[in-house]
């Protein structure tokens, strides 16, 4: 049985812990919030940075064949015509005629067990919707009266650099995915670095989508971050490289982020976009079921062919040894930071013990923990304890995120650190003043041991902090 089942992780518990402990806040909450947008609080931003750093290390730092990039959010509007987003990046929408809530048709169908997806044409999905609408109720008001299914474009428009009143006729788009920046910079990377096929370009950055339904917390938001890697290959090696990438990405979740294999599964796309050779999702077992965490796609030569056509620039690749000139094929790995954070929180969440001794603890792998070490003076009103604890805190902060806490009893301070997943707590007590040792308490076992202050660095180093 997976750890999650024993602990009964629910979205209510995760959302409440995130708000209470400063991982995630609803955006602009003092104004009533802003639908499908969230802010990362002090611990959320640490967790997010740790996840992104692990991804970068795994996808760029240890890969001599992959380089990094940070392209701008705004791109030439033709980019989005070439990519197909202006004409085809849409979700099927219906409106409840009673309460006017707008809903995603494929999600309503999925809820009653009818397969449909956003890649179907408006006609196809409207037909399936009208055949099944009698079994569907509006989740907001219970009405069964809906408008027909219509496709709604997800690109977010802006008037950046356009000072006319009719700017929305020629908008600048906020990017709907980060990978387009990789495709349009691919030639620059080729010309300015020593990469040779097969090679990859990776980047982490914000993307924006006018998602119709905002639900499931940070799982589906209108502003989100993606971690994407596009790997440029020959047509002949596309599918073998694709299989290698699939395994490499699976290992990231199990070996680097420490997710339980039982909480992950593959989902093969049956209904592919016309240019794709194969597409798989890695799904995670969220509290609302197995859902897409990451997409891994074999995209053929579609992207560079389209940008060649629309930009008029030759984006072919010339093999320096054979002289062969060809359009590279692309395989991609694409995952949202928010979905990874949510998966990491669900994986780490544990409730232990009963009554007085019960606790909630986030058992993150140490490298993901927002705070690595918390330092406490036993008593707040004893200056010599506070000064010693401060000294230890100041000696640790240059190398890791630490927290100083002198509030409340020690038990409560431990519980607070457990809830944010801090691996170690260091307490300075009266013995410290005599023998220069401190109590180090382990998060997972709650075991305590005395460690000499001069040996703390080595102790944490031994635990890979």
Tell me which residues touch ligand GAP (CB under 6 A).
177, 179, 209, 211, 220-221, 224, 226, 228, 292-295, 332, 334-336, 338-339
Give the nearest distance from C-beta 251 to ligand GAP in angstroms: 17
- CB of 54 or CB of 294, closer to ligand GAP: 294
Q: How far is CA 348 from the centre of its chain?
A: 15
Query: What would you measure as the largest C-alpha separation in the chain, in angstroms?
Result: 80
Give the nearest distance from C-beta 293 to ligand GAP in angstroms: 6
Give the nearest distance from C-beta 336 to ligand GAP in angstroms: 3
Residues in the chain: 465
Q: Let me know: does 353 contact 446? Beta carbons within 8 Å.
A: no
How many CA atoms lie less than 13 Å away from 69 in the CB half-sphere?
28
Residue 241: CB partners within 8 Å, gap ≥ 6? 198, 231, 233, 331
- CB of 213 or CB of 360, closer to ligand GAP: 213
Q: Let me know: does 38 contact 24? Beta carbons within 8 Å.
A: yes
Task: Extract the runs of DSSP E, i.e. beta strands, from 243-380.
Answer: 264-268, 278-286, 289-298, 317-318, 325-326, 329-336, 349-352, 359-362, 373-377
Rounded distance, CA 41 to CA 84, Å? 36
Rounded distance, CA 225 to CA 341, Å? 11
Rounded distance, CA 149 to CA 97, Å? 13
- CB of 4 or CB of 220, closer to ligand GAP: 220
Helix (H, G, I), strand (E, B) or coil at 62: coil
| 200: nearest Cα among 231, 174, 155 | 231
- CB of 203 or CB of 432, closer to ligand GAP: 203
- CB of 177 or CB of 418, closer to ligand GAP: 177
Rounded distance, CA 186 to CA 16, Å? 43
Four-residue CA torsion sign, 202, 219, 276, 256? positive
Structure tokens that stand for 67 in this block: 């380089």
Give the nearest distance from C-beta 136 to ligand GAP in angstroms: 23
Rounded distance, CA 77 to CA 366, Å? 43
The CB-nearest residue to ligand GAP is: 336
- CB of 24 or CB of 179, closer to ligand GAP: 179
- CB of 332 or CB of 403, closer to ligand GAP: 332
- CB of 341 or CB of 386, closer to ligand GAP: 341
Q: Let me know: does 38 contact 31? Beta carbons within 8 Å.
A: no
Structure tokens that stand for 446 in this block: 């709650």
| 299: nearest Cα among 345, 235, 350, 359 | 235
- CB of 335 or CB of 346, closer to ligand GAP: 335
- CB of 336 or CB of 377, closer to ligand GAP: 336
Give the nearest distance from C-beta 177 to ligand GAP in angstroms: 4
- CB of 228 or CB of 278, closer to ligand GAP: 228
Residue 407: CB partners within 8 Å, gap ≥ 6? 380, 413
């Amino acid at each position: 049985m997976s750890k999650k089942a024993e602990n009964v992780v629910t979205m209510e518990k995760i959302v409440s812990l995130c708000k209470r402990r400063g991982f995630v806040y609803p955006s602009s909450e003092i104004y009533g919030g802003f639908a499908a947008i969230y802010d990362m609080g002090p611990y959320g931003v640490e967790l997010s940075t740790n996840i992104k750093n692990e991804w970068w290390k795994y996808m760029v730092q240890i890969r001599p064949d992959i380089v990094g990039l940070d392209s701008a959010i705004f791109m030439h509007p033709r980019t989005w015509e070439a990519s197909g987003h202006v004409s085809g990046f849409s979700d099927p929408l219906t409106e409840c005629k009673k309460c006017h809530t707008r809903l995603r048709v494929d999600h309503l169908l999925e809820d009653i067990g009818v397969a449909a997806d956003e890649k179907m044409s408006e006609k196809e999905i409207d037909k399936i919707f009208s055949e099944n609408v009698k079994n569907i109720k509006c989740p907001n008001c219970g009405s069964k009266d809906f408008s027909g299914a219509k496709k709604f474009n997800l690109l977010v428009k802006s008037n950046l650099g356009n000072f006319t009143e009719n700017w929305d006729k020629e908008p600048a788009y906020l990017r709907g995915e980060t990978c387009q920046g990789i495709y349009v910079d691919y030639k620059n990377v080729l010309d300015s670095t020593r990469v040779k096929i097969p090679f990859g370009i990776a980047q982490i950055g914000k993307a924006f989508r006018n998602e119709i339904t905002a639900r499931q917390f940070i799982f589906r938001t209108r502003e989100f971050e993606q971690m994407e890697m596009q790997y440029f290959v020959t047509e002949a090696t596309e599918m073998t490289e694709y299989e290698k990438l699939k395994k490499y990405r699976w290992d990231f979740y199990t070996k680097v982020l420490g997710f339980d294999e039982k909480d992950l599964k593959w989902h093969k796309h049956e209904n592919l976009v016309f240019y794709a050779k194969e597409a798989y999702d890695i799904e995670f077992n969220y509290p609302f079921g197995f859902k897409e965490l990451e997409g891994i796609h074999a995209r053929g030569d579609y992207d560079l062919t389209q940008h060649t056509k629309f930009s008029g620039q030759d984006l072919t690749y010339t093999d320096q040894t054979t002289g062969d000139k060809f359009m590279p094929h692309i395989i991609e790995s694409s995952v949202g930071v928010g979905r990874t954070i949510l998966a990491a929180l669900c994986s780490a969440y544990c409730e232990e013990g009963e009554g007085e001794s019960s606790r909630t603890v986030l058992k993150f792998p140490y490298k993901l923990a927002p705070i690595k070490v918390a330092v406490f003076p036993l008593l707040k009103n004893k200056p010599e304890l506070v000064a010693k604890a401060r000294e230890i805190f100041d000696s640790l902060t240059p190398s890791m995120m630490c927290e100083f806490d002198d509030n409340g009893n020690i038990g409560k301070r431990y519980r607070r650190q457990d809830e944010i997943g801090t691996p170690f707590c260091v307490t300075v007590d009266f013995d410290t003043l005599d023998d220069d040792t401190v109590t180090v308490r382990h998060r997972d076992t709650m075991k305590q041991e005395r460690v000499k202050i001069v040996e703390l660095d080595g102790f944490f180093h031994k635990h890979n902090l």
